[in-house]
Amino acid sequence: MAELYRYAAFISYSSKDAKFAQRLHRALESYGIPSSLGKFDLIGGGKQNRIYPVFRDREELSAGHLGDQIEANLRASAALIVVCSPNGAASPWVQKEIEFFAAQGRHAKIFAIIPDTAPLTDEQGADCTQTCFPPAFRGDALSGDKLEPLAADARKGKDGFRNAWLKIVAGMVGVTPGQIIDRDRKRRRQQALTLGSGVAALVITAIAAINLPAGERVRSAMTTAAAERVERQQIESAAFALAGLPADGDINPLHSRQADDVVGQAGLLVSIVGRFDTGYARTHSPDFRFAVLEETDRDTDIETYFLADLRTGERTLLEGARMDSAIDDEFRFSPDGRALINYGFDEILFWNTETGEGTQIGGEYAVAEDGLSLVAVQRVGETARGTLYSFRQGSAPIDLGEIPGDTVDDWSTSAPEPRLCYGFSRRERYLLHRTAAGEGILRDLHTGRTVSFGSIGCGRFFSQFSDHRASIVSSDDERYFAVLTPDGTTAIHDATGALRINVGRYWLNAIYGHIALMFDFDLPPPYPRRYLNIETGREVYVGLANENSSNGQTFLIFDEGGPPRLRDATTLQDTPLNFSGDAQQDIDISVDGRYLVLRRQDAAFLYDVESRRETPLNVDRSASVYFYDAEGHQILSHLAPQGARARYLRISPRDGQGLVWDLDSGRQEPLHSEWLWSPNRRYVLVRAADGRTTVRDLHSNAPDVTLDAQLDVDYIRTYGTTPFISDAFVAFSSSGARTVYSIDGSRTHRLENLVGNQFTPSGDFWIYSQRLASDLPRLSFQYDVATGVTTPLGTAGASVPSDEDASENLEPYYFTSEQRENLPAVNYLLRDPRAIAQGRGGALRASVCRLSADYIDPFPASVRDEQTASADGNGAALYADLEGRPWNPCDWRGLLAVFPNRARGDGWFEGMRQWLRLISVRWNLGGRDYACEETTSAASAETRARRARMCERFAAPAAPVPT
């Protein structure tokens, strides 16, 4: 418990320092010790956390014995504060008071403070600090003992007055000076902010009373300007549409319903994540960061190609790029988007999309089917050198060294043909090439690992599965690789390079799993087949087998004079068959060997091996047949899982109606040959006998869903428009209308008067355009299939990227475009349909700006440039409303935008800054109007750069608005 005192402190000073002592007295008694430091009662039973009362002797002594009263008050004081100056050092009263207080045994509670009136140096320039201290502090008092009190220095250049007496307070309560000074600064800042906010509120209230009517008028004018432009200049109207809504921090939140509506008409509700202003988008990277743009010179009809960064708007000329009509996918991006490849007949060009640097590859080359690996060979005389380019991860080119070749007889020509020894495996994960020393090197294109096959020869296999340039055949799963040896035999290796078997001089046709199929061309035709188990080295069969399943596990055997048999390549067990025919008829075998499709003369039949029953298929022998498993996956050798079983048979005749056959139940359903399965292979679309369409869920036993739709077969045949099925919905077109059904039939969305419609690659969104009347503009919309929500896109046309990569990409981005009036350029905006602006009024504006601010046109110079605007009356009026404001409406702030916001790029008092600049510009107070590229005070460097690029491209004077 604190000792009981009457005073918290006793100030001892010379009468010549009375003014400083009086300031110190007021400061101490008015100060409240921060509660965060703790609870303090300096006198016991007094005011908590206060330095009160403080005794100042010259003022508070009453009449009577002076010496007795001073001593009594010194005893009643918790601390002694000595004002140390040359005046105090010469005062006998100050010396006596120090000596008396020290005699009470309270040396630790004596504090010294040098007043700000004390000199720093004497007449000779020497430091005179020591002359400020009384003798008791210099060691010549109290029997020679030197007192060393906590000393604070209020002089300028030292502690200063406030910090000096705060140091005294820190010593009195037992905390460090830093603690109490730091908390004092924070408290004073908070007090200043509170006071400033109050003053600002009063100023804003006064300003608001003056500006509210003007603000409403400006918004109304902006909304009207947007409505006048939205039909013919939709993209330019966006800035006016946003300016018609309350900005962040606006005092007046009121707005018109038309202001909300025109934002949707301007196509601002769906997020804009990139754009370019000219050209046609040929293709794009998988992440939609880059696009290849094609521009055609109208005079020369010559195409020029550019690499466009859709995020920044920057474009790089693709020098030498061209399109060859006979080549599919002339431009292709790597999966990570870091490389762009342009294929031609006699050269390849590729670019690093990050640096824009291009490389030209001439001479002979071989490209993997996925387009992501290629070998380029430069011939110099009799030698050739190869370089491997892999675009999967943007890796550096690999020098393959000299690639020798042989002159081999081409089976399709009579003349020998030179061949170089290199090529890709079946699924193109591996590259085989022969070195100058004749060594065969197998390179894993995914990992870069290489293995040696030893010495190999050079030639070509008679195989449907071998690269025509290379001596390589691989199994579908790329476990085994067959190469020619220098002596002309065939060796089969595994992926480690180990030799598994040498099959001699037979012609290798294919490797199915672990079964190798070979022909013996040394014998007269019909050439016998040889089936070899690579893992056991055993011959499974030699003879006139007619056909094998897609994984080579089963095959047909026709023996002269005997019935056909089906042999299992693993168990070598034969199953006798009772159908009639010979080895020359066309037969398909299901992957599990259960079913055979037989083609004889002009008819086709299904044969069940287990029941030995033959059923007519009622189609001619030219019909295509496909087997599917229970989940709707087409069964191919490299896709079939272990133990795959055929469940469905799809029959697609060249002309007429196809059908799907449930092999378990025997049920047959008609279907159009161009449509059947959903992308996830879960749903199958079939047509009932009454013409209605049903959806069957292959993953459940739920009843089929019948859709209220009938196929317009004549319309399909005339226009080639077939129904569309995704994992979530089914869509039908008929005579200019389209109907979308959810996959369970619970929701229907039908539209007429369509002038264009497409689905995004993932099938989640339907983008369509309508013209409701001949004299009305085309309107575009986005329909979310999952939720049934329709969002307007305005008058812009919509385009879903159609390259093959897009169909496998989960990102549902699409482009909208607008032909600017009186300008040749077409503007393309890349949109993300999953991000939709929400709310009304100011909330809607904030949402649009958060999603799309960097890709919205600035106001055109026709209303922001005084000289240009003065030529048109309407432009002059808009200029008057926009003068002194930023060119992008997303950068406008109201007076209540006080606090910093990093996401929006706002600094402190952003709204007040803009208002003061507006006033200084309009009232000719020396203010400078905003430049087009200027934005908010704390905007990021990226935002500033994007604003500048948008100004370079879109702030040119626009054509007058038609009236």
Q: Rounded CA gap, 457 and 897, in Å? A: 78
Residue 908 — very low, low, confident or very high, per pLDDT cuts 50/70/90? Answer: very high
Element (H, E) at 200: helix 177-229
CATH classification for the domain delimited by 9-175, as one of 2.40.50, 2.60.40, 3.40.50, 3.90.1210: 3.40.50
Q: Cα separation of 945 and 314, whole Å?
A: 11
Instruction: Indicate whether 849 pLDDT > 90.
Output: yes
What's the CA dihedral at 69, 70, 76, 81 to 10 degrees?
160
Local structure of residue 35 (DSSP, 8 states): G
| Closest listed residue to residue 565, CA positions, set 549, 576, 579, 581 | 576
46 has pLDDT over 60 = yes
Distance, in Å, from the CA atom of 715 to the CA atom of 184, rounded to the nearest integer, reads 84
Which amino acid is present at 876?
A: A
How many helices and strands (H and E) does the chain possess?
A: 17, 58
DSSP state of 893: B
Position of tokens 């390589």?
A: 472
Over residues 918-932, the mean pLDDT reads 89
Q: What is the spatial distance between Cα 833 and Cα 273, in angstroms, rounded to a whole number?
A: 10
Based on its alpha-carbon atoms, the radius of gyration of the chain, rounded to whole angstroms, reads 45
Q: Which residue has the tokens 């496998």?
A: 808
Whole-angstrom distance, CA of residue 238 vs CA of residue 230:
8
Helix-helix angle 841-852:257-265, to 10 degrees: 20
How many whole angstroms separate alpha carbon 268 and alpha carbon 563? 73
Predicted local confidence at residue 478, as pLDDT: 85
What would the CATH number be for the domain defined by 363-506?
Answer: 2.130.10.10
| SS3 readout for 723-736 | CEECCCEEEEEECC
pLDDT of 516 over the 70 cut? yes
Q: How would residue 410 be classed by pLDDT, with cut points 50, 70 and 90?
A: very low
pLDDT at 671: 61
- The overall average pLDDT reported for the chain is 78
pLDDT for 197: 73
Task: Say which residues have a Cβ less than 8 Å from residue 143's Cβ, sequence separation at least 6.
Answer: none
1-12 residue pLDDT tens = 456 888 999 999
Question: What pLDDT shows up at residue 239?
Answer: 92
Q: Is the pLDDT of residue 527 over 80?
A: no
Name the E strands within 328-469.
Answer: 331-333, 339-343, 347-352, 358-362, 364-367, 373-380, 383-390, 398-402, 405-409, 416-420, 422-424, 430-434, 439-444, 450-455
Q: What is the 3-state secondary structure (H, E, C) of 656-694?
A: CCEEEEECCCCCEEEECCCCCECCCCCEEEEECCCCEEE
In Å, how far are 340, 347, 367, 421, 476 from 373, measured between CA atoms? Answer: 12, 15, 6, 16, 19
Categorize the per-residue pLDDT at 139 as very low, low, confident or very high, splitting at 50, 70 and 90: low
Q: How far apart are CA 888 and CA 935, in angstroms?
A: 8
Lowest mean pLDDT among 43-47, 172-176, 522-526, 586-590: 522-526
**447: part of which helix (H) or strand (E)?**
none
Higher pLDDT, 821 or 75: 75
For residue 171, the one-letter residue type is G
Q: Which residues of 638-647 are buried (b: 16+ CB within 10 A; e: fewer)?
A: eebeeebbbb
112 falls in which pLDDT band (50, 70, 90)?
very high
Over 70: is that where the pLDDT of 356 sits?
yes
Rounded to an integer, what distance in angstroms lies between the CA atom of residue 801 and that of residue 760?
Answer: 8
The stretch 666-670 carries a mean pLDDT of 71
> How far is it, in rounded angstroms, from Cα 412 to Cα 460?
12
Q: What percent of the chain has pLDDT over 90?
A: 13
Bridge-partner residues for 660, per DSSP? 650, 669
Can you read off the two tokens belonging to residue 768?
A: 């369509």
Go through the chain and tell me how many residues it has: 963
Q: What token pair was written down for 255?
A: 């707005």
Residue appearing with tokens 């191919």: 636
Q: CA torsion 439→445→446→450, rounded to 10°?
A: 10
pLDDT over 70 percentage in the chain:
75
pLDDT digits (tens, 9 = 90+) for 572-589: 788 888 876 654 567 888
Report cis status (omega within 30 of 0) of the bond before 526: yes
CB 148 within 8 A of CB 139: no
Which of these ranges, 159-163, 429-433, 803-807, 813-817, has the smallest mean pLDDT?
803-807
Q: Which amino acid is at 486?
A: P
More confident residue, 759 or 947: 947
Concatenated DSSP letters of 775-810: TS--EEEEEETTT--EEEEET-EEE---SHHHHH-S
Query: Could you give the CA distance from residue 244 to residue 114 in angstroms, rounded to a whole number?
Result: 64
Confidence of residue 701 (pLDDT cuts 50, 70, 90): confident
Q: Residue 825's pLDDT is what? A: 53
Report residue 715's pLDDT band, with 50, 70 and 90 as the boundaries.
Answer: very low
Q: Per DSSP, which regions of 63-119 are E strands?
A: 80-83, 110-114
Query: Model-level pTM?
Result: 0.61
Q: Report which of residues 75 and 487 the model is more confident about.
A: 75
Decide if pLDDT at 84 tops 90: yes
Distance CA 259, CA 382 (A): 75
* Through-space distance between the first and last CA atoms of the chain, rounded to whole angstroms: 88
In tens, the pLDDT along 464-496 reads 434 444 467 888 778 899 888 888 788 899 989
C-alpha count within 13 angstroms, C-beta hemisphere, residue 63: 0
Q: How far is CA 256 from the centre of its chain?
A: 35
**Comparing 719-723, 775-779, 920-924, which segment has the lowest mean pLDDT?**
719-723
Q: How confident is the model at residue 810 (pLDDT cuts 50, 70, 90)?
A: very low
Say yes or no to pLDDT of 340 above 50. yes
